[in-house]
Structure 1
Amino acid sequence: MRYLEGRDMPRRADVGRWLLAALLLWCSAWAQADLSIAGTRFIFPANSSVISIRVGNIGQAPILLQAWLDKGDAKASPSGLAVPFVLSPPISRLEPMQRTALMLRYSGEPLPGDRESVFWINFLEVPSRLPVTENVLRLAYRMRMKLLYRPQGLTGTADQAVRQLRWRFAAEGKGEGALLASNPTPYYVSFAQLALGSGSRSISLQGITVEPFGSARIALPEVPGTTPDQAVVHYQVATDSGETLSGSARIQD
């Protein structure tokens, strides 16, 4: 979520000139997120009472950080959400180069005990409103990261789950098709990248997640290989440690 903060609102007749000025300002201004977060996703084991999320301000001005959780709807208002976790503090001010920790606690509301449950942690960085002497571009950055609640006693391990996925190709006519990924494990499998085929006919996909004991249907613009059993999917998957694991699997009949 980003917003442009200007000094004056443009009249309708000046919209064209204002847009041009905004583009020039974008080219001449310097802006970046000053919020740093330790991790790319978070695991909450069922036997834990609290986990900490390390955050910091690597910029040269104070920032305001608002943090909240949702169940998957990025547009939902934080005030109307009901999630079984408490994140504190929900709002904090970070001075330049300051580091601190947010504390995440499970409220104890029932969640499935045979599989992982997924939630999203939202981090909204609001920049300083200190007076400036020249035009600047102020951006509010919002980041969303996965939170996985993991019950005790699940079979296997999360990092091995990707090797148990079953891949199948389904032709749908006119050269189009879909890649079907079935997950027989109790873990979420999140792909940073998927690639099918090779050369000029290769297809690259991002942001694919297969839920526990579920499946994902991935629409494809064309058949990636000569026949389904000759196609191979190459993947990069996120691990518990935050690293990326590369591998490949053959698409089955």
Structure 2
Amino acid sequence: MRLASRLLTITALCIGHLTAAPQAYASVVIAGTRVVYNQSDSEVTVKLTNNGKLPGLTKVWLDKGDPDAKPDSIDVPFTITPPIMRIDPGKSQTLRIMSTGEALPADKESILYLNVLEVPPKPSGDDASANQLQLAFRTRIKFFFRPTGLKGQASDAPGAVVWHIKRDGSTNAIEASNSSQYHVSFDRIELTGDGHTAAFDQGGMVGPGESKSFPLKGEVPSSGGKVKYTAINDYGGPQSGEASLAP
């Protein structure tokens, strides 16, 4: 399920000839699928655990939304300690993320992305000459900075979204307008009515004060309809709700 899904990027390829490659997974995992940094906090901590059988060298950084930006070229108002670490098998490492005090918007939540790049150890001994698949795994999750003084609660934001149907010939979409000061992430959006159901199930996010359209698959009701959605809360869990289409 996407609530716990993470972006996995293969950044290295095999060395030598391989006839078959086994399915691979990241050994270093993040505790949680998103991070919320409240402005009132002096820092936020994130736990990384190596569930693999080998030690791993891990590099951590924040980006502003461009997954292809080079870490050394990104200027963000946060520091991460430690930015590079070795995590032994079965061990954990706690990251400390602290604000530098540089200004971010005070009237809305900001979003960045936390990146964890795991580089496997180089083969040694007999393994060094064998054909091996060497992979580096990258995990990227949302990092929200939440200033003090925002109106309402983040958990109330999905219920405040206003929904409209956008019809363009054979293409139908549902538009979500977010008037809150928080980001709203959706796992699934469903429109039902007149015995018909149309849905969007690819996951998406609407920023504060923004509107976004999501393409629907299925039969859209000819008029009206009820919107059923599953949003994602601060803990990465599902938050279900219903709403009516706006006139």
What residue in structure 2 maps to residue 6 of structure 1?
14
> Which ranges in structure 1 are unaligned for 5 or more consecutive residues?
9-17
Residues 134 and 235 of structure 1: CA distance in aligned 2, closer, same or farther (over 3 Å): farther
Higher RCO (CA 8 Å, separation ≥ 6 residues): 2
Q: TM-score, normalised by structure 1?
A: 0.85
Residues 158 and 135 of structure 1: CA distance in aligned 2, closer, same or farther (over 3 Å): same
* Post-superposition offset of 1:100: 1.3
Determine which structure has more spread, i.e. the larger CA radius of gyration. Answer: 1
What residue in structure 1 maps to residue 148 of structure 2?
152
Q: Across the two proteins, how many residue pairs are aligned to each other?
A: 235
What residue in structure 2 maps to residue 42 of structure 1?
35
Higher strand share: 2
* Post-superposition offset of 1:233: 2.6
> Which ranges in structure 2 are unaligned for 5 or more consecutive residues?
1-8
1:112 is aligned, of 105, 108, 111, to 105
Residues 4 and 72 of structure 1: CA distance in aligned 2, closer, same or farther (over 3 Å): closer
CA RMSD of aligned residues (A): 2.1
Secondary structure at the counterpart of residue 108 of structure 1:
coil
Residues 183 and 201 of structure 1: CA distance in aligned 2, closer, same or farther (over 3 Å): closer
Asked if structure 2 preserves the Cα contact closer than 8 Å seen for 1:3 and 1:138, the reply is: no
Residues 246 and 221 of structure 1: CA distance in aligned 2, closer, same or farther (over 3 Å): closer
Cα distance between partner residues in 2 of 1:129 and 1:30: 19
Asked if structure 2 preserves the Cα contact closer than 8 Å seen for 1:31 and 1:138, the reply is: no
Residues 7 and 242 of structure 1: CA distance in aligned 2, closer, same or farther (over 3 Å): closer
Cα distance between partner residues in 1 of 2:27 and 2:205: 29
1:53 aligns with 2:34: no
1:1-253 alignment, distance < 5 Å: 1-8=9-16, 22=18, 24-26=19-21, 29-131=22-124, 132=127, 134-172=130-168, 174-197=169-192, 202-220=198-216, 224-227=220-223, 229-230=224-225, 232-253=226-247
Query: Which amino acid in 1 is paired with 2:14?
Result: G
Residues 242 and 203 of structure 1: CA distance in aligned 2, closer, same or farther (over 3 Å): closer
* Post-superposition offset of 1:204: 2.9
Percent identity of paired positions between Structure 1 and Structure 2:
34
Q: TM-score, normalised by structure 2?
A: 0.87
Cα distance between partner residues in 1 of 2:13 and 2:106: 46
Cα distance between partner residues in 1 of 2:77 and 2:159: 31
What residue in structure 2 maps to residue 14 of structure 1?
none
